Structure 1
Amino acid sequence: MSNTTPHVRELNLYRQYFDLVAAGTKTIEVRVKYPHLAGLAAGDVIRFRIKGTDETCEVEVRRVTEYPDFGTLLDGEGPSNVNPTATRDEQLASIRAIYPPDKEALGTLAIEIRLLD
């Protein structure tokens, strides 16, 4: 038995994605490879929060995989794991509306998550 405490990170999510995570149907979170996410690893905990509210849910990171861009990420992970309510093309447009090309150029991360009780 390990006495190590998992690293907890707080990240904001838009309501539509938060609801999918909280329901356990979104199993891949998509992020740009920002420096503050360096070192994110399996076993870490992410506390998602809807910005400006006290609503949170916690997930365990199961895996972090880097991709060169969002299209490659969606193809590698399967769009239904990222957002089961939207097509691949709808998701790509939505993600790129959040992250412009200069951000996407930093690299992208697929974070496999599991909802914690």
Structure 2
Amino acid sequence: MSNTTPRVRELSLYRRYFDLVAAGTKTIEVRVAHPHLTDLAAGDVIRFRIKGTDETCEVEVRRVTEYAGFEALLDGEGPSHVNPAAARDAQLAGIRPIYPPEKEALGPLAIEIRLLD
């Protein structure tokens, strides 16, 4: 039996995505492979926070998969897991301002998450 404590990362999240995570309906978080996320692994905990508030929710990382681009990520994971409230094309349109081409070039990450109680 292991007595290692999971690593906890704190990441900001827009309200519209936070609400989906907190409801347990968003099961894939999309990020890019910034240096502080390259060692993110199954078993880690992410504490999502709405910037400028005390509102948080915690999720367990189930897996991390890197994709060549956001289109491949949405096709591979299924848009309904990334954002059950938006169609695929709307999700791409929403991702592009957050992660322009130079950020996408870092490598899109699909982070499968499970809401913790």
TM-score with structure 2 length normalisation?
A: 0.99
The size of the alignment, in residue pairs, is 117
Q: List runs of 5+ in structure 1 lacking aligned partners.
A: none
> 1:49, 1:68 → 2: CA distance?
28
- Aligned equivalent of 1:42: 42
- Aligned equivalent of 1:58: 58
Pairing of 1:10-89 with structure 2 (within 5 A) = 10-89=10-89
**Which letter maps to 2:34?**
Y
> 1:71, 1:12 → 2: CA distance?
23
The runs of 4+ residues in structure 1 deviating greater than 6 Å are: none
**Which letter maps to 1:91?**
Q
Q: List runs of 5+ in structure 2 lacking aligned partners.
A: none
Q: Percent identity?
A: 84
> 1:2, 1:33 → 2: CA distance?
28
- Aligned equivalent of 1:99: 99
TM-score with structure 1 length normalisation?
A: 0.99
**Which letter maps to 2:43?**
G
Q: How many Å apart are 1:2 and its aligned residue?
A: 1.7
